[in-house]
Amino acid sequence: MTLQAGQTARVAAQARLALRPGAGRRVLRGLGAGLKYALLGLGALAMILPFADMFVGALRSPADVFANPPRYWPRDPQWDVYARVFAELPMLRWLVNSVVVTVTITTLQVATSTMAGYALAKYAFRGNGAIFRLVMGAQMFPFFLFIIPIFFLLRFAPLMGGNDIAGQGGAGLLGTYAALVLPFVVTWYGVFLMRQFFLTIPDDLLDAARLDGASEYRIFRSIMLPLVKPAIATLTLFSFVYHWNEFIWTMTVTRVAPDLQTLPVGIYLLSGAFEDLDQKALQQAALAVSILPVIVVFVLLQRMFVAANLSSGVK
Amino acid sequence: MSPATRAARAPGGHGAAPWVFLSPLLAFAAIFFVLPIGFSIYLAFTRWNPLGTPRWVGLRQFEYLLTRDDQFWATIVNTFVFAGAFVLIGVPVALGLAFVFGRARGKAVWRSVYYLPQLTNIVAIAYLWQFVLDDRYGAINRLLGMVGLRGPDWLTDPAMAMVSVVLVMIWYEAGKNMLVFSAALEGVDQDIYDAAEIDGAGAWRTLVSITLSIIRPAFVFVTITSFITGMGFFALILAMTEGGPRGATEVTALYAYRMAFEDLRMGRASAAALILFALIGIIAAVQFRLLRERT
């Protein structure tokens, strides 16, 4: 439809609305709006309730738990539970591991994605198309396919962790930070995202820099990277959230290496210690601590995050 | 394109530069993509307890899983129930939310609230729902108790446990899919609605024949990605029910994972993972065809 036809249609529609007896319709509209917010509100309540339940639960004392019937609302909120979490659990260790692993992976992913995305977007060379198809195709492979083979590739890595040249004799890379980081050095989705952003940057810029005699690496670092800062912020946020929350892989390789466990993994593998009813509050407080950093990061960078999400939607 | 660009873009114009930029990706693709997939396929034809060396057994692992392992088939059924229910309920819920969200004020607030679960690690999701769904003292059954109803045994009754994990999965993914839908809906031109109204189309007809056909690409995308996610997702179930009670929520990906890391049957677990992957691929392709063609 042309713009003009659309405009005509809108005017006609408005005219029709104006001519119509309005009262009944307005009531219906009001009802519609009420229903709309009722639905959204109900959904929002469902989203928040489990989190609220966790915060309330963390504050219960053993007296609340063992009362008959057990009290839902703590009579004497135990705020020191958040201190106890750090005193009684290896919480600090987990927190440090989470930060180290997440920051390392995020940094590496941003580096590899910008480099690869730039090459795919701005250079014509034999193999470009094939590599791009690999990037798109690889995204289709679910992670569960890789757990077993990568676990043993790391286990039998030659000359690492006491292994001989044939990969025998030691524990390989298992039990090192490398095992947590290496399988995530490249994110296919991130490469795709960066390629799309680099495509929007005009080639003239490149040509001008080349005429000025800048080297290819200089162009990338000093001209191109600053131009894709929004995309880098987006990717940083995605990587951070994803890898802060990553669970299955980290759990698999750190099950026997408590020193390397991250927050979600540590809390999961220690669940046996929370069996007793009076330990539940401790578990709930630990969960709250594991969630909080991501929420803080999200709130700080919400605008960018949302923009990223929308642009990732397929239209 | 300027002549300079064309020259610059000629093959070999900048020598090694693109390959230097791509070298981490290529190394990664070789070591952490091609090699593992090859290894995985090889393992599926062997019997291997990692203490020894793999022994070639041909198609025996596939034959065992497909013809003799009743539990494997039970997990396939569970996988389909989980992914199917998640798609059939979760996608319309997300679409409905996107409709009301698109016309509401205070978008930033609603968006943050609905996105909260997506920011939360899956262990926390699983445990906080365990608390809420606790048979006797969970928030939900307490609420039901206050109005005199006896709530179901959400996680200990085998029939309810599957319902519970599906509901949590829908809850977990609702915000993400809602945002994809609302982005698509924002792209719909208001004029089209006006024109429909002129033509005397009712609200329902407008919804079905205009809105849904315009957001079809988003619909196809969300449906297929949700299905793929649902078929392979086992972290939630592992942390929430451990596949129980009595195997009621044991899905194939979880079954394969435990076969590998608890029973140490690497060959059979690789075969199970490959069968699941093939199933996902085939059904996603069929879905893509069906949803595409009805335009």
Q: Hey, what are B24's tokens?
A: 């981490």
| Angstroms from A98 CA to nearest CA on chain B | 12
The residues, ordered by sequence, that sit 6+ positions from A19 with a Cβ below 8 Å of its Cβ are: none
> Could you tell me which CATH number the domain at A89-269 has?
1.10.3720.10
Name the more confident of B69 and A298.
B69
Q: How confident is the model at residue A1 (pLDDT cuts 50, 70, 90)?
A: very low
Burial of B3 (0-12, 13-18, 19+ CB in 10 A): exposed
> B201 and chain A: CB distance < 8 Å anywhere?
no
Residue-wise pLDDT tens digits, B159-201: 899 999 999 999 999 999 998 898 888 877 777 777 777 777 7
CB distance B252 to B72 below 8 Å? yes
Tens of pLDDT along B218-262? 888 899 999 999 999 999 999 999 988 989 999 999 999 999 999
Question: What pLDDT score does B199 carry?
Answer: 77
Integer-rounded Cα Rg, in Å, for chain A is 27
pTM score: 0.86
Q: Which residues in chain A are closer than 8 Å to B266, comparing Cβ atoms? A: 148, 152
Q: CA of A48: how far to CAs of A4, A41, A45, in Å? A: 46, 10, 5
Over residues A196-233, the pLDDT tens digits come to 999 999 988 888 888 888 888 999 999 999 999 888 98
Asked whether the predicted pLDDT for residue A34 surpasses 60, the reply is yes
The first and second tokens of residue A186, run together, are 């490249």
In whole angstroms, what is the distance from residue B232 CA to residue B59 CA? Answer: 23
Q: Give me the pLDDT at residue A298, please.
A: 79
pLDDT at residue A315 greater than cutoff 70: no
Which conformational region is residue B197 in: left (phi greater than 0), alpha (psi within -120 to 50 degrees), or beta?
A: alpha
Closest partner CB to B22 (pick from A70, A131, A267): A131
What end-to-end distance do the CA atoms of chain A give, in Å? 19
- DSSP SS3 for B67: helix
pLDDT-wise least confident of A195-209, A264-278, A280-294? A264-278
Question: Would you state the pLDDT for residue B71?
Answer: 94
Indicate the residue of A37, A142, A247 with minimum beta-carbon distance to B123. Answer: A247
**Please, which residues have CB within 8 angstroms of residue B181's CB and are 6 or more apart in sequence?**
B94, B95, B97, B98, B215, B218, B219, B222
- Strand residue runs (E) in A4-125: none
Of B71, B124, B98, the C-alpha closest to B181 is B98
pLDDT surpassing 70 at residue B139 = yes
The region of weakest confidence among A160-164, B79-83, B109-113, B250-254 is A160-164
Is B240:B168 a contact under the CB 8 Å cutoff?
Answer: yes
Mean pLDDT of A239-254: 93
Query: What is the reported pLDDT for B5?
Result: 47
Give the chain A residue whose CA is nearest to the CA of B96.
Answer: A39
Among the partner-chain residues B104, B195, B218, the one whose CB lies closest to the CB of A1 is B195
Q: What is the pLDDT of residue B260?
A: 95
Give the minimum alpha-carbon distance from B67 to chain A in angstroms, rounded to a whole number: 22
Q: Which helix (H) or strand (E) holds B155?
A: none
**What is the C-alpha separation between A182 and A184, in angstroms, rounded?**
5
Mean pLDDT of A264-287: 86
As a whole number, mean pLDDT of residues B56-84 equals 95
Q: How confident is the model at residue A14, as a pLDDT?
A: 47
Between B154 and A32, the higher pLDDT residue: B154
d(CA A297, nearest CA chain B) in Å: 10
In this predicted structure, which of B68-72, B91-95, B206-210, B274-278 has the lowest mean pLDDT?
Answer: B206-210
pLDDT(A194) > 90: yes
For each of the domains in chain B, give its residue range(s) and CATH number, in order of start.
63-293 (1.10.3720.10)
pLDDT at A31: 67
Q: Which residue has the higher pLDDT, B244 or A15?
A: B244
Gap between the Cα atoms of B250 and A159, Å rounded: 39
Whether residue B2 is predicted with pLDDT greater than 70 in this model: the reply is no
Strand segments (E) across A82-143: none
* C-alpha–C-alpha distance, residues B7 and B21, integer Å: 20
**Closest partner CB to B131 (pick from A46, A138, A284):** A284
Would you call A47 and B184 a contact, using CB atoms and an 8 Å cutoff? no
Residue A312 pLDDT grade (very low, low, confident, very high; cuts 50, 70, 90): very low
Rounded to the nearest integer, the mean pLDDT of chain A is: 84
Residues near B69 by beta carbon (within 8 Å), at least 6 away in sequence: none
Which residues in chain A have Cβ-Cβ distances shorter than 8 Å to B253? 142, 144
Residue B178 C-beta-side C-alpha neighbours within 13 Å: 29
Q: Which residue has the tokens 């390629």?
A: A195
The answer to whether B137 contacts chain A (CB < 8 Å) is yes
pLDDT digits (tens, 9 = 90+) for A44-93: 999 999 999 999 988 988 888 888 788 889 888 888 889 999 998 999 99
Three-state SS string across A3-20, please?
HHHHHHHHHHHHHHHHHC
* CA gap B207, B197 in Å, rounded: 11
Inform me whether the pLDDT recorded for A311 exceeds 50: no
pLDDT for position B106: 85
Residue A186 CA to residue B34 CA, distance in Å, equals 14
| Type and span of the H or E element at B198 | helix B190-198
CA proximity to B106, closest of A153, A184, A37, A22: A37
| Residues shown for chain A | 315
